[in-house]
Amino acid sequence: MRLDHWDEQRDGPLTESAMRRRLESLGYVVTRYVYPPGTFFPDHTHAVDKIDGVLSGRFRMTMGGRTVVLEAGDMLHVPAGAVHSAEVVGDEPVVSLDAVRR
């Protein structure tokens, strides 16, 4: 499981536009989503490599038998074909940048 954390010293302040620029510079097409509390995505796969980047809220992701809770500034790499699930944790919506490899 590859997880990157936003580094304000290296990347500057965490903003939606800054994370979007970083993901786009890596060759991804980025879409913004807001997931309300209680949102759950059962095990599924994608046909392309993607990155789930969290701007706010808490997003529990399970992949390859490992579970991590993503928070603001966390970016999880999800390889094509990897079985994974996701769930909003707590009472705050998750604002996420969904980045799909071009």
Backbone φ/ψ region at 48: left (φ over 0), alpha (ψ -120 to 50), beta: beta
Determine the topology of domain 2-101 in CATH.
Jelly Rolls (2.60.120)
Burial of 93: CB neighbours in 10 Å, binned 0-12, 13-18, 19+:
middle
What are the boundaries of each domain within the chain?
2-101
Q: 66-98, pLDDT tens digit by residue?
A: 999 999 999 999 999 999 999 999 999 999 999
Instruction: Answer whether residue 6 shows pLDDT above 90.
Output: yes
pLDDT of residue 1: 87
Instruction: Answer whether residue 102 shows pLDDT above 90.
Output: no
pTM of the model: 0.94
Contact 33, 96 (CB under 8 A): yes
Q: 16-68, pLDDT tens digit by residue?
A: 999 999 999 999 999 999 999 999 999 999 999 999 999 999 999 999 999 99
